[in-house]
Amino acid sequence: MSNKAKKTVIAHRGASGYLPEHSIAAKAMAYAMNVNYLEQDIVLSKDNVPIVIHDIHLETVTDVATRFPDRKRDDEMYYVIDFTFDELKQLNVVERFNPETKKAVYPNRFPLNKSTFKLHSLQEEIELIQGLNTSTGKNIGIYPEIKEPEFHQNEGKDISNIVLEILNNYGYKLKTDNCILQCFDPKELKRIRQKLKSDLFLIQLIEFEDDEKRMQEFSEYADGIGPWYKQIIKGKDNNGNWVFSNLVINAHKNNLTVHAYTFRADQLGEFKSFEELLQVGLYQANIDGVFTDFPDKVVDFISKN
- Catalytic residues, which ones? 12, 54
Tell me the residue ranges of DSSP E strands in 23-82. Answer: 37-44, 50-52
Phi first, then psi, for residue 28 (nearest 5°) are -65, -40
Our separate counts of H helices and E strands in the chain read 11, 11
Provide the β-strand partners of residue 236.
242
CA atoms within 13 A on the CB side of 201: 21
Phi first, then psi, for residue 80 (nearest 5°) are -50, -40
With beta carbons less than 8 A apart as the criterion, state whether 243 and 235 touch. Answer: yes
Task: Measure the CA–CA gap between 79 and 46, rounded to whole angstroms.
Answer: 9
Phi first, then psi, for residue 134 (nearest 5°) are -70, -45
Indicate left, alpha or beta for 149 from its phi (over 0: left) and psi (-120 to 50: alpha). alpha
Q: If we measure between CA atoms, which residue out of 280, 151, 258 comes closest to residue 204?
A: 258
Q: If we measure between CA atoms, which residue out of 53, 34, 43, 31 comes closest to residue 130?
A: 31
Task: Measure the CA–CA gap between 79 and 97, rounded to whole angstroms.
Answer: 16
DSSP string, 81-141: GGS-HHHHTTSPB-S-B-TTT--BSSTTSSPTT-S-----BHHHHHHHHHHHHHHH----E
Give the β-pairing of 289-292 and 257-263. parallel
